[in-house]
Amino acid sequence: MRLVSQEAWAAYQGRFIALWTDATRAYALYEPGELVAVELQNGAYPALSYLGANWFQRLAKDLNGHTATGFADTRTAVEHFREPDGRAAWPEFALPNIEGVHQVAVGPVHAGIIEPGHFRFSVVGERVLKLEARLGYTHKGTLGLMRGKSARQAARYAARVSGDATVAHSIAFARAAEAALAMQVPARAVYLRALMAEMERLANHCRDIGEIAEDAGFAFLNARFALMREYLCAAAQTA
């Protein structure tokens, strides 16, 4: 990890992956695994100009109260309906200043198994001028619940971040904990993790392909893929 000045942080060049904050620092991860950190000053750090940093900086503000100075996007990421002082809020969607524009609202509840999310289309006739997505409706504060837990207890929370990626999140948490503790992982565990991750991937692909067929009106194919997915899930449960 490289601890840099605020000027060097803002000017750092690399292929951005992720950003997060803790009580004292902001961290940015760049390929190929280079971690850069900067000290927070009064709960703030310089904003990064990478487009991919937008969502992470909004999350850091919502979850930890840390502000990216010079960051123009003041929209929330997950705390959409609550002001910083706890009062209820209903943020408005900005409407393009063009004659004849109207808004079409979709969600947050969708048909089928789509994750909840509110999508606001600004349109003129059939032309979409702007789309704004408001996500985070299933935010559960899992990371906050994991703090202070033992690695074994925290692993149960990691497995419940997303139901269709239980294996992936569990492996990611296990590898992070093992790296932090400098643990040697038995070869058998590595092989079993790869096997279970592949079964989870196949099960998810079966569902996705089936849903694509369903959207095209091919319900029979969706039913067949649903059956294949059940076979894979049953095999994983047995294993």
Domain ranges in the chain are 2-69, 92-137, 140-185, 186-239
> In this structure, which amino acid lies at residue 163?
G
> In this structure, which amino acid lies at residue 109?
V
- H helix intervals, the chain: 6-11, 53-64, 142-146, 151-158, 166-180, 187-215, 219-238
As given in the structure block, the two tokens for residue 39 are 């000290």
* 168-207: pLDDT as tens digits: 999 999 999 999 999 999 999 999 999 999 999 999 999 9
Residue 7 and residue 24: Cα distance in Å, rounded? 17
- Contact (CB, 8 A) for 191 and 176: no
- Contact (CB, 8 A) for 88 and 80: no
pLDDT at position 144, please?
84
- Contact (CB, 8 A) for 170 and 154: no
pLDDT at position 192, please?
95
pLDDT at position 156, please?
95
When computed from its CA atoms, the radius of gyration of the chain, rounded to whole angstroms, is 22
CATH of 2-69 given 3.30.1380, 3.30.750, 1.10.10, 3.30.720? 3.30.720
pLDDT at position 71, please?
81
Please confirm whether the linkage preceding 116 is cis (ω < 30° from 0).
no
Identify which of 173, 225, 187, 181 has the alpha carbon closest to the alpha carbon of residue 204: 225
Instruction: Enumerate residue ranges in the chain where pLDDT < 50.
Output: none
The model's pTM is: 0.73
pLDDT at position 112, please?
67
As given in the structure block, the two tokens for residue 20 are 């997060």
* 187-197: pLDDT as tens digits: 999 999 999 99
- Contact (CB, 8 A) for 120 and 110: no
pLDDT at position 187, please?
96
